[in-house]
Structure 1
Amino acid sequence: MLASPFFRKVLLVTSLAVFAGTVSGSALLANSSEVDRAEKLIWGSGSEARPVEGRQALEEAVAVKDASAQRVLGMHLIYGWVFEKDVHKGMLLLNDAANAGDPVAQFNLGQILLVGTTGSKDVARARILLEDASRQNEIQAMRVLGEQLVLGTVYAQELKTGLTLLKQSAELGDIRAEIVLGDLYLKGKGVPRDLSKALGFFESAATKGDGSGLASYGETLMWGEIDAKTTEQMLNRAAALGETSAYVTLAEGAMYGYLGGGAVSRAKYEGYAELAREAEEPRIEVLEANRSMWGIGKRASGPETIGLLTAHADAGNKAAAEFLIKLLRDGNGLNVRRDLAAADQALKTYAELLTARDVAKFELTLKAASARTSDVFARVATEIEAQPDLMSFGFGKDLYKANPNIAFFILQTRLKDQGDYGGSLNGFATRSTLRAVYKACQRLPDNTLCDDSVMRSDVIAMLLAQNSEAK
């Protein structure tokens, strides 16, 4: 694992000193006002947009090796915000800007390579880029690398260095770093759980206008049944700061009796549901479908649930479309049966609401759901492993729900390759399989759930995502 002398000394150099020492006389010192002018032309800031002129200005700046222009045009071409996508050219430009020492380009390229956004995943180079950007006090790079070093998923855990990076990022003005720190302590991810520390970071972020931490903290209090009154107040504060998803959380808590218990809690549902709709929070319709599916405050009906979700998906609600596809793929064991053909048709119908990445994940889980024999398990598992950039904790949970045999087949294969499993590759949770999975679980940064059951979907998902990221 890469570890520079700089990180062993834990970020003691200021950005200006490093900047002067590493890029003296470079293209970074080119006229950034020209790049700003080009961006205004592209987006139409204060006037009508003139993207052709804006691009021409960027191209002219790129021709004289202006790193800022290379980075801006590169990002435009990678993501296709205004111009037609050209990922190859965009990555070349972004790479040139990063090599020239542009810290924002180093962060952007590092993040792309860390996640595999463009299909190119290189976690070793990503770390080098994020370290280089952090040397120049690029606060986003500090936050991203700091979080990874605390979690110990992609890289070996370096808790002290990771926390130092996150705290320095926060001190330099990165509100998101405060939210990340609060979330780590709230959930005990990489660090011991400490609600007091979590709340301190969230309150600090709230004073700067970010209520997302309060929303997370309030939700944790609610599901933990810790002080319903404080929970409600905190979630309402979060919503007032613009985190209107808190209204959905409040509606859900009211529905299940977590806001004062029984009839008192349920009576609050409609009010919070209406606030969520006024804020155009799409997940409220998924919540309403759950009420219909499980018969909460109304008669349970599978067909009505499918009808509600279909109507909202037809109206362009992405959350409803995703929930509908998953429900048809998996069924609910009560009043909605698994219907893979209907799930496949729903995916085709609502594909335009989803990202290409979403569609690819759904296609793989639908293939997994239809697999019944070891040879098919192997084919589907191979296809999944060929696309490691798609693997995430959420995808791992969906895959396990769609077909646990596929998930176990993948883990058996990986553990066999590592010399930790000597049994058959069959996708079944045999005794030897579970022993090997348990040992792998014990090596996770967060292994608190291992002794409960390694057949939990969240444990399997952590193993799938962690092993994939480590490749």
Structure 2
Amino acid sequence: MSSAAKFAIFTAFCVSFGAQWAIAQEAVPPGEAEVPVIASFEALLQSATKDLEASATGSDAMANMALARVAFSSTDLAVQSTGIPLAEKAAELGAVEANLLLGDIYRRGGYGTAPDLLKAKGYFETAFKDGSLQAAVALGSLYLDTDFTAEGRKRGIELLSAAAEDGSIEAANALANVYLLGRGVTPDTSKALHYYGVGLVSNSNTSIVAVGDLLRTGASKLQPNPEVALQFFQRASTQGDLGAGRRIADMHLRGEAVAQDIAGAIGMLTELAEKGDTNSYIALGDIFTRGEFVPTNGPRAIGYYQGAETLGNTAGMTRLAELYIAGLPDTPIDLGQALDLYTKAAELGNTGAKRALARALLSGQFGSTDPRRAIALLEESARLGDGQAAKELAVLYAGNEPFPANYDEVKTYLDLALAVGNTTAALEVGSAIATGPLARTHREDARALLTGAMDGGVPGAAAVLARLQLDGAFPAQGVSGVITMLNGAAKSGDIESARFLIGLYRDGYGLLLPPDPAAATDFLNSVSANIGPEATTVERIHLEALTSEDADTLASVGEQISTLSKASAIQVLDILRRKNARAYVYVLQKGLASRGEYSGPLSGTLDATTIRAFNAVCSALNAERACAPGPLTRGALLTLGNYVLQPTT
């Protein structure tokens, strides 16, 4: 270790602990030890440094662990990396805390160290054998996230169960999530609530908020109850949970369990932000960027995002970059600003910014491409524990662009993505292997990965498997086998698989399966409680759009779309423009008429009056270029749809 690195480590350590050390020295009874003369701060610092260095090179686990933590607290990567051997020495000397810390470091990467799942499991296992409940939770979660075999799932659940029985609230919450999502077990909302109860009786905010979320949205065999959910959030909020406070504000914003109060919600978030909650600044910026509840206001959104940035939340920078990329009526697109913001956030360690820059360098979004730099950025992000970056690297290495396919690299980055909890990475990576150049040699690996993900309860895994089987990427089970598989996943609470099966009945699948709207409707009715009211409405509109263009259907579609969130409404409009142009035009006519910008009949007919109204809006929004290809294009959809769905007050 260099003298500079030592000095940085020991300086930080002694600033933290020098006072306590001096007090301890003063407390030594006379005659038992000589009290040192403290001539100056520097002299005490030097004495403490020598003392700790001597202890650390011997058999003092505490000294090694303390110095390791000081190293990890440094902002200098070179100093951080010196903490690894110190922590490893502490682990060798039997420090349980060192084993826990090293397990987490090797699971996620960081401090100049690449992730290593075998090492992570080894350190967690050692801590677990020493009786650490925290190690049992970490190890159980690691097995469930990375090992999709029956043995791996069993081991994960056994570890979490043992820790929960010994009183670990963290383990109980993890088990609740396992039973709620059906992660390798049959979904069981009652069991989930039982395990959340461990935290509730201990007044754990984590458990209180989790049950509030469950009651707000509902779950299998549990109807939504936003009124009671609000009570849970209020309890956690009074106990200092900022996330609960933001949820209360969001319920007032949407009118859930209370009368809608947009101004009140903004006031609540403003109060939280002024207390230093940077995520409330982000939420406020999003409100004025997305325009779902109030008209968009670029300058106001920018101010909120900058407020988060000022308090050190680099997400404010990335949100600002996204705003400058998309633009708003009062905030023009500015790719230069966006690039500067992403670069600044990436330099400060924001993994989302690193990913955004990498994608831009692969696609040429900001004017040039640089695949090597893009890969380097993704690798930096993955080493910081970014599971999304790790997944994107695995997908890139499953293809031949920008570099030749490499299964070993795919496996390395997939393992990392899974290790940090990005279990859905298995779906995209498995699909990329099965449909890319690696299929010839690793098709069975892809199928085993996807089958394990499905058996392990990863949402959407059955839908991905079904699509690949229908397309011939894997040996076919036949249409009936695919439908049986999707049915089982849907009944287990897999919303994505349920919606895929609805679409399969509704649209058919080439020559394999003819469309059957009646079967789609029946199946939708049977799973509507599981997929929720918003998704059910989207699917009902989709079904109606296939069957008729009469006046009653147009009116029904227009009424239903008004109940959706803006994001879902845009999704529906995109469906309509491709499958029922009259319904699409009708919704836009209705929206423009409510603003006094269209005076013709609500007919769904794209006549001259309608086209003039559309063009006037595109011109007013400086979006002529996006609208020029025609009103039924995606550019026109985003311009006109966002405008008519934006609140008028």
What whole-Å deviation, never above 9, does each CA across 1:226-261 have from its counterpart, x for those lacking one? 11101101111222233221111222232233334x
Match of 2:341 among 339, 342, 346: 346
Equivalent in the alignment of 1:160: 154
User: Residues 274 and 368 of structure 1: is their aligned pair in 2 closer, same or farther, counting only changes over 3 Å?
Assistant: same
User: Residues 418 and 362 of structure 1: is their aligned pair in 2 closer, same or farther, counting only changes over 3 Å?
Assistant: closer
User: Residues 157 and 72 of structure 1: is their aligned pair in 2 closer, same or farther, counting only changes over 3 Å?
Assistant: farther
Q: Which amino acid aligns with 1:256?
A: R
What whole-Å deviation, never above 9, does each CA across 1:46-103 have from its counterpart, x for those lacking one? 979976655444323223211222222122223328x996234321121122223322
Q: Give the superposition deviation at 1:449.
A: 0.9
Q: Is the 8 A contact 1:179 1:201 kept in 2?
A: yes
Q: Give the superposition deviation at 1:289.
A: 1.7
Q: Answer yes or no: is 1:276 the counterpart of 2:276.
A: no
**d(CA) in 2 for partners of 1:433 and 1:388?**
23
Q: Is the 8 A contact 1:42 1:55 kept in 2?
A: no
SS at match of 2:358: helix
Q: Give the superposition deviation at 1:45.
A: 9.2
User: Residues 87 and 378 of structure 1: is their aligned pair in 2 closer, same or farther, counting only changes over 3 Å?
Assistant: closer
Match of 2:297 among 272, 285, 301: 301
Q: Give the superposition deviation at 1:386.
A: 7.8
Q: Give the superposition deviation at 1:137.
A: 0.7
Equivalent in the alignment of 2:86: 93
User: Residues 197 and 62 of structure 1: is their aligned pair in 2 closer, same or farther, counting only changes over 3 Å?
Assistant: same
Map 1:213-228; keep pairs closer than 5 Å. Answer: 213-224=207-218, 226-228=224-226
Map 1:436-455; keep pairs closer than 5 Å. Answer: 439=447, 441-444=450-453, 445-452=456-463
Equivalent in the alignment of 1:175: 169
SS at match of 2:224: coil
What whole-Å deviation, never above 9, does each CA across 1:371-416 have from its counterpart, x for those lacking one? 699996687357635864246344479x6xxxxxx88544435995
Equivalent in the alignment of 1:412: 399
Q: Answer yes or no: is 1:112 the counterpart of 2:105.
A: yes
Q: Is the 8 A contact 1:222 1:253 kept in 2?
A: no
**d(CA) in 2 for partners of 1:332 and 1:157?**
50
Which ranges of structure 1 fall in alignment gaps of 5 or more residues?
1-36, 400-405, 422-427, 460-471
Match of 2:17 among 41, 66, 72: 41
Equivalent in the alignment of 1:27: none
SS at match of 1:77: helix
Map 1:65-464; keep pairs closer than 5 Å. Answer: 65-80=59-74, 86-118=79-111, 119-152=113-146, 158-224=152-218, 226-260=224-258, 263-264=259-260, 266=262, 269-270=265-266, 272-274=268-270, 276-277=272-273, 279-314=275-310, 316-328=312-324, 331=326, 339-349=334-344, 354-355=348-349, 360-368=354-362, 370=364, 380-381=374-375, 384=378, 388-390=382-384, 392-395=386-389, 409-412=396-399, 417-418=406-407, 432-433=435-436, 439=447, 441-444=450-453, 445-452=456-463
Q: Give the superposition deviation at 1:433.
A: 4.7
Q: Which amino acid aligns with 2:342?
A: L
Q: Is the 8 A contact 2:360 2:366 kept in 1?
A: no
User: Residues 243 and 40 of structure 1: is their aligned pair in 2 closer, same or farther, counting only changes over 3 Å?
Assistant: same
Q: Is the 8 A contact 1:107 1:133 kept in 2?
A: yes
**d(CA) in 1 for partners of 2:350 and 2:47?**
30
SS at match of 1:324: helix
SS at match of 1:412: coil
Q: Give the superposition deviation at 1:360.
A: 4.1
User: Residues 188 and 44 of structure 1: is their aligned pair in 2 closer, same or farther, counting only changes over 3 Å?
Assistant: farther
Q: Give the superposition deviation at 1:150.
A: 2.3
Q: Give the superposition deviation at 1:114.
A: 1.6
User: Residues 382 and 91 of structure 1: is their aligned pair in 2 closer, same or farther, counting only changes over 3 Å?
Assistant: closer
Work out the number of aligned pairs and report it: 402
Identical aligned residues as a percent: 20
SS at match of 2:82: helix
Q: Is the 8 A contact 1:98 1:105 kept in 2?
A: yes
Q: Is the 8 A contact 2:278 2:311 kept in 1?
A: no
Q: Give the superposition deviation at 1:438.
A: 8.3
Q: Is the 8 A contact 2:397 2:406 kept in 1?
A: no
Q: TM-score, normalised by structure 2?
A: 0.52
